Structure 1
Amino acid sequence: MAPGLPTAMDRPHFIGIGGAGMSGIAKILAQRGAKVAGSDAKDSATADALRALGATVHIGHAAGHLADDASCVVVSSAIREDNPELVRAAELGIPVVHRSDALAALMDGLRPIAVAGTHGKTTTTSMLAVSLTALGREPSYAIGGDLDAPGSNALHGGGEIFVAEADESDRSFHKYAPEVAIILNVELDHHANYASMEEIHQSFETFVGRVVPGGTLVISADHEGARELTRRLDGSVRTVTYGESADADVRVLSVVPQGLRSEVTVELDGAPLTFTVSVPGRHYAHNAVAALAAGAALGIPAAELAPALAAYTGVKRRLQLKGEAAGVQVIDSYAHHPTEMTADLEAMRAAAGDARILVVFQPHLFSRTRELGKEMGQSLSLADASVVLDIYPAREDPIPGVTSELIIEAARAAGADVTAVHDQAEIPEVVAGMAKPGDLVLTMGAGDVTDLGPRILDRLPK
């Protein structure tokens, strides 16, 4: 049986309860019997899902939303010190808990798998959650995206395994003590918190050091950043590598595209094993192999887990089909880093054949655009045509001189057909004028560009 409530978390108040990471923790606590409350900037389907579990969700931030008897206040790194509920917590002497500490407490007493890496965390965590559920293992899980419905990013299961997405962006993954750690790749990102690859590697080394004695690190044998990390390790943690490299412990022998699916063959323990991944793209196939290796590290027979991985059919915003109109398919992509953008565009190119690919791209964060704008533009050259929106600021203030024009200039220099659109309200009309029957339209980015898919479908001829 899974444990009950962590100490002092029976009446938690979440500031920003609707966020992907925060809502998952709130959901699990509610399912464990906590009296959950919180606030968010705007109402959402996620807020409704939490209310259905008995949580109290306030819209907007105000000191009065925080109950005097709250046992703790849970925050993420995005919450500013002048938030009125955080100020009120200090006045009342209510303990403030970072979401990573709350998640670590939820995993205590279980067998955690922590999924880390610059890209692919949500997909790999979801693959494990879905496949382990299909095998009847009843895992608990906390994912940075919804599987099939609002609020499906987390579950309090009755089994002994807890699968969690481990976020490196603010070093919060240093709080976890996994039995199995997965590192998919190691690249420079989150420029507001990391100044160099050296800092990134040091941070991931600390994460690896948190693996419990007798635990296992599953890490890519193909990505150079991951290989460099492996070279830095002192050998105190059992390490299993995976990938197409000849020296990989779990070697990927082939990835064969089959429309929007892939057939994957790996060599594991000296024998070939073939299974199906129900999403397109080589990078998703590699995510599935990482999940397979992690399950094997926990003692789950690969011959059982491999076919169960086919039960995973995607997670919201990861090449999610939003609909079709006038012969045009609209697909949503969360990709916001050049590596992710390139991977998703290559996956769609392999799956789409001769179809044209049109991208509506919204850059995410001023700091990321400043550092990687050129590479983002180069990634967009893989599309037949692109529309680029203004930068989605998220938690950041503007940086002078940093605009979407950095991306547009780089894209045009790479030979891309790019149009700048500053008003999102114009996008459906612009895309409807560009799209032809047979085209694929990708709304791409980590911000509110995802909201444009249904509006584009509505504008296309019926």
Structure 2
Amino acid sequence: MTPGLPPAMDRPHFIGIGGAGMSGIAKILARRGAAVAGSDARDSATAEALRAQGATVHIGHATGHLADDASSVVVSSAIREDNPELAAARERGIPVVHRSDALASLMDGLRPIAVAGTHGKTTTTSMLAVALSTLGLEPSYAIGGDLDAPGSNAEHGTGDIFVAEADESDRSFHKYAPEVAIVLNVELDHHANYASMDEIYESFETFAGRIVPGGTLIVSADQSGAVELTRRLRDQSSLKVVTYGESESADVRVHKITPRGLTSEVTVLLDGKLLTFAVSVPGRHYALNAVAALAAGVALGIPAHNLASALGKYTGVKRRLQLKGEAAGVQVIDSYAHHPTEMTADLEAMRAAAGDSRLLVVFQPHLFSRTQELGKEMGEALALADASVVLDIYPAREDPIPGITSALITDAARAAGADVVAESAKDAVPEVVAGMAKPGDLVLTMGAGDVTDLGPEILARLSR
């Protein structure tokens, strides 16, 4: 089926159109026939992919980029009020639409699956998108990362299923009304928007309350925050709750996870039968994400054995333990992990994959507020590596906080017994890593900022 264009979305202008979330919505609208335009701070492969879809993409932000006949201006929470295009839209009376409202409108008339949680959303959404596509169901999807090429973070399919990553960071996931929702985990993060765990629980309860009557919540039976959320939701009789995980109480119980280098094999007990399938990415946490995807598909009525086979076709998403290459006997892998729980999970997966070889990490903290609250835990996570290089904090949308620097992390790492080096000059890192790395080592670039750019540079330096 091909839904029509949502109201005010026939000539949308996106501020920050190259962002992971924004570009996906823009791509789907372009595929539906909208005259899409937008701007971004810098040119990119994503911007070029949007142009190939027929979108007009301006570089830089200026009043003149906003067409007089724009039907709406789409913004994310990262766009500041003093942005010239946003100011012009308000002055001209052009409707301003939040990214989440635009995404919600794309799901109207379809069967949405919304994937939420503090960690693992992009991977799980990607697993579902790939599996459903493999089964010929032609889903639409919007993901916070590229599957295999710039622009592959979204697709307008002809089927009736829409898979979406549901972002809790600014409570925008309250806008969706899914038939099936997944909650992978519930932890305190996004400290600029949430002051306590109680606020986090309330937010996830609101999200669960948006599931359509008769719909299903898939939720972890292992992670403490998710277990507490389930307890709080038990009195909602209209909501079907299906738990998954290694806990013996799980409705979809993980019987065994077998690591196989950079892949794994998982066996689950579902409806009294054992089902085994491959997961083509390393780590226990990714195997559990695949089980969540399996449970969600089953909740939509898709046969479990078909889904299990299709999930094996998933080969990863960019920045989620993505192999960037090998040089001088050293493999370089990229990780988006930026919260201590994510860091620990990816480091444990890489520690297992490294075997007797060494694991070296280049870590870039993301956000001053996150470092202020979780810097100690980040440093402790780095103790899982044999040696680490820690960069300055990547600010993203935030202004500096006095006294908050990467030293919070390096001090904690050293206190935990880690071998860690502080390096403020990002362009010096390839040389530093080349001086540390030996054949057989794994090098992991880690963080949600531009640390990802260092992978190719490290490989180039190792090749010399």
TM-score range, shorter chain: over 0.9
- Partner residue of 1:37? 37
Runs of 4+ residues deviating >2 angstroms: none
Letter in 1 for 2:396: A
Whole-angstrom distance in 1 between the partners of 2:281 and 2:256: 15
Match of 2:325 among 323, 337, 348: 323
Deviation for aligned residue 1:349: 1.2
Distance across 2 between alignment mates of 1:439 and 1:423: 23
State the 1:265 CA deviation. Answer: 0.3
Cα contact 1:20–1:145 (8 A) shared by 2:
yes
Q: Which secondary structure does the structure 2 equivalent of 1:460 belong to?
A: helix
Q: How far does the alpha carbon of each residue in 1:297-356 deviate from its partner, in whole angstroms, 9 at most, with x for none?
A: 000000100010011000000000001000000000000000000000100111221110
Tell me what 2:130 maps to.
Answer: 130
SS in 2 for 1:82: coil
Give 1:19-98 correspondences, 5 Å limit. 19-98=19-98
Pair 1:461 & 2:463 matched: yes
Counterpart-to-counterpart distance in 2, 1:311 and 1:62:
43
- The equivalences for 1:13-24 within 5 A come to 13-24=13-24
> Distance in 1 between the 2:378 and 2:187 partners?
15
Partner of 1:347: 349
2:251 & 2:270 partners in 1: Cα distance? 7
Residue type of the alignment partner of 1:25: I
1:91 Cα offset (Å) = 1.4
The residue that corresponds to 1:150 in the other structure is 150
CA distance in 1, matches of 2:260, 2:410: 33
Partner secondary structure for residue 322 of structure 1: strand
Corresponding residue for residue 140 of structure 1:
140
Q: Using the alignment, how far apart are the partners of 1:401 and 1:2 within structure 2?
A: 53
- Residue 92 of structure 1 and its aligned partner are, at CA, apart by 1.1
* Structure 2: stretches of 5+ with no match in the other structure: none
| Maintained 8 Å contact 1:2/1:110 | no
Which string of whole-angstrom CA distances, capped at 9 and with x for unpartnered residues, describes residues 373-420 of structure 1?
000000000000000000000000000000000000000000000000
TM-score by length of 2: 0.99
Structure 1: runs of 5+ lacking an equivalent: none
Q: Secondary structure in 2 aligned to 1:178?
A: coil
| Alignment of 1:379 onto 2:381 | yes
Q: Please state how far the C-alpha of 1:235 moved relative to its aligned partner.
A: 2.9
> Distance between the aligned counterparts of 2:247 and 2:443, measured in 1?
34
CA–CA separation in structure 1 for the residues paired with 2:395 and 2:2: 39
Choose from 299, 303, 306 the match for 1:304. Answer: 306
Mapped to 1, the partners of 2:379 and 2:90 lie a distance apart of 45
CA distance in 1 between partners of 2:219 and 2:412 (Å): 33
C-alpha distance after superposition, 1:260-293 (max 9, x if no partner): 1111000000111000000010000000000000
Conservation of the 8 A alpha-carbon contact between 1:331 and 1:442: yes
Q: Secondary structure at the match of 1:6?
A: coil
**Which amino acid counterpart does residue 92 of structure 1 have in structure 2?**
R
Query: Aligned AA for 1:24?
Result: G
Amino acid at match of 1:155: E
Amino acid at match of 1:235: Q
Alignment of 1:24-423 (within 5 A): 24-233=24-233, 234-236=235-237, 237-423=239-425
Name the aligned partner's letter for residue 161 of structure 2.
Answer: I
* Residue type at the aligned position of 1:256: T
Amino acid at match of 2:37: A
Percent identity between the two aligned chains: 83
Q: TM-score, length-normalised on structure 1?
A: 1.00
RMSD: 0.5
Whole-Å separation in 2 of the counterparts to 1:294 and 1:371: 33
Matched residues in 1 for 2:102 and 2:357: separation? 46
